[in-house]
Structure 1
Amino acid sequence: MKILDAVKQAFKNATNHCLGKCNICGRHTFFVCIDALAARNNMYCLFCRSSSRKRHVAKVLLNLFTPHLTAINDISRVGKYRIYNADVGDAFGKILNNYQLYVCSSFIPGITPGTEISSRVFCQNLENLNFSDKSFDIVITEDVFEHLKHHEKGFKEVHRILKTGGYHIFTVPCYFDRTTLVRVDTRGDKEIHLLPPEYHGDRIRGKILAYRTFGIDIFPLLTKIGFDTQVDFSNYLDRKSGIFDSYVFYSKKVD
């Protein structure tokens, strides 16, 4: 969304803005609403520009690893958790820019996967990561796995690079009352569209194809790989952190 359009939308939704404290940058702030019907993907913090969804990921991370802290901004004081985030240029990256145990990545066409683009910023393919086994305590992915051609391979790669007891904290679109909706058959050499193509916006590539919407069968799949998976659903109290209409998966590597 262009800046002028965002400003217009912010004025249009002014009654939906709210005050609170951001659990990423740690500042008291306004959470700015751009679209009330898709609050999880906006409600931007004025300072770090984190979205509701990203702050929900931060909430889960803090609860699991540093419940004595109130913001990601304070994690560098702990200095013992190695974090991999499959996103670049986001609020986590801005806040943890000087945290040496934080690395991030994106898949960038034309760049060889594994290339370090800048300090601790990589080009990576989630289906074939270049990191060593048991490298990280935390892996973060947000609305990524529905875009992987071979999602099971991606989950196995995350399992491989996590330390035992580490967590994959992630978001994906999911039906909790039915099985996965397969949009594209990827079992053969050619992709076969089973439904009209669905594309989601992407900062780097413009738009990317969604291969599936996950369903309740994601849980036995992750169990088979070696994860113990739970889901955190946002609640009324989360609104003080600007978290709305969201859910976050967290999978612990148990073997």
Structure 2
Amino acid sequence: MRALNVAKSAVKNFAFHKLGRCNVCGKISLFVCLDVDLARNNMYCMFCRSSSRKRHVAKIILSEVIQNTPSISCIPKKQSLKIYSTDTNDAFYKVLSNYDSYTSSIFSPNIKTGTEIHERVFCQNLEKLTFDNETFDLVITEDVFEHVRDYQRGFSEVNRVLKTGGYHIFTVPCYFDRPTLVRVDTSTDEDVYLLPPEYHGDKIRGKILAYRTFGIDLFHFLHSLGFETRVDFSNYSDQKLGIFNSYVFITRKVFHHESLSVATVDPSYYQLHSSGN
């Protein structure tokens, strides 16, 4: 049934398909549009199934971290760069599964954190990663941190496992003209819903709770952890890569953040920014 619905959507949106070169698998491909309004989350490459959003992340990796490389698939297998992605069985995993320094993870509450499920595929909790300090040159997370209950600890953990000078390339839903919209108060052990619960689809758990939509205060918080941060917004020239209506955060670790206390948000934050007004 799902395959039939996908086929119907592809036919319905045929006029919006685009021909270009995929910067993940490196092939000339047709980027298939299934939903014009949510183009960043589809426009799938017909070969590696990368989405518009993933190709935007790839664009940043290839311009900021691994320069002079035409696609993710062309990264040399013996490249010393250590990469960690919180996604698995995605387009990056397909083209980098034989890359010796590529690690990916899933999160499952039924599996002990740190367990190696497959070769270089681990069960990890972003709030308490089991990797050593300064292990990775690059960490990739895509639309993950809105689902991390203690996002402050999660970002601090990313800072800890990154080498100084390393990059965290990530995407999250974000308002760039207002503070973070807190949907669930997590200041105690019990979740307190401030807004009707919002769930997003998840390949493993079916659906997962969104605790927040980030806002402009995210930049100050990341700075307090030791990150330099900027955002890349997609533009017209990106369409040749099948990138549409997307933005990607680029953070670079300038120094190691030792304590969460410096960056902890005051509890009144939850009351001040819990409404949509």
Q: 2:2 and 2:224 mapped to 1: Cα distance? A: 43
Question: 1:97 matched to which residue of 2?
Answer: 97
Spell out structure 1 runs of 4+ moving beyond 4 A.
none
Instruction: After TM superposition, list the pairs within 5 Å mapping 1:21-170 onto structure 2.
Output: 21-76=21-76, 79-170=79-170
Aligned partner of 2:5 in structure 1 is 5
Please list every run of 5 or more consecutive structure 1 residues that lacks an aligned counterpart in the other structure.
none
Q: 2:185, 2:149 → 1: CA distance?
A: 9
Whole-Å Cα distance in 2 between the matches of residues 11 and 117 of structure 1?
38
What is the alpha-carbon distance in structure 2 between the residues aligned to residue 76 and residue 189 of structure 1?
45
Tell me: CA distance 1:224–1:190, structure 2 relative to 1, closer, same or farther (3 Å). same
Could you tell which deviates more after superposition, 65-74 or 18-27?
A: 65-74
State the partner residue of 1:250.
Answer: 250
**1:189 offset after TM fit, Å?**
1.9
The separation in 1 between residues aligned to 2:222 and 2:133, in whole angstroms, is 18
Query: Do the aligned partners of 2:77 and 2:99 also contact (CA within 8 Å) in 1?
Result: no
Q: Does the Cα contact within 8 Å between 1:34 and 1:43 map onto a contact in 2?
A: yes
Q: CA deviation at 1:108?
A: 1.3
Question: Structure 2 regions of 5+ residues with no counterpart?
Answer: 256-277
2:179 maps to amino acid: T
User: Partners in 2 of 1:66 and 1:84 — Cα distance?
Assistant: 14
Contact 2:78 2:100 in 1 (8 A): no
C-alpha distance in structure 1 between counterparts of 2:214 and 2:196, whole Å: 17
Q: Which residue of 2 aligns with 1:203?
A: 203
What is the match of residue 272 of structure 2? none
Once residues 77 and 118 of structure 2 are traced to their aligned partners in structure 1, the CA distance between those partners, rounded to angstroms, is 24
How far, CA to CA, are the matches of 2:89 and 2:78 in structure 1?
A: 23
Q: 2-side partners of 1:49 and 1:12: how far apart?
A: 19
Give, in whole Å, the separation in 1 of the partners of 2:19 and 2:131.
40
Residue deviations 1:113-168 (CA, integer Å, cap 9, x gap): 10000100000000000000000000000000000100000000000000000000
Determine helix, strand or coil for the equivalent of 1:61.
helix
**SS of the residue aligned with 1:76?**
coil
What is the Cα deviation at residue 65 of structure 1? 1.8
Number of equivalenced pairs: 255
State TM-score, norm by structure 1.
0.99
Residues 77 and 100 in structure 2, CA contact (< 8 A), matched pair in contact too:
no
| TM-score (norm. length: structure 2) | 0.91
How high is the sequence identity, in percent, across the aligned residues? 61
Distance 2:28 2:75 in 1: 18
Contact 1:76 1:96 in 2 (8 A): no
The offset of 1:78, in angstroms, is: 6.6
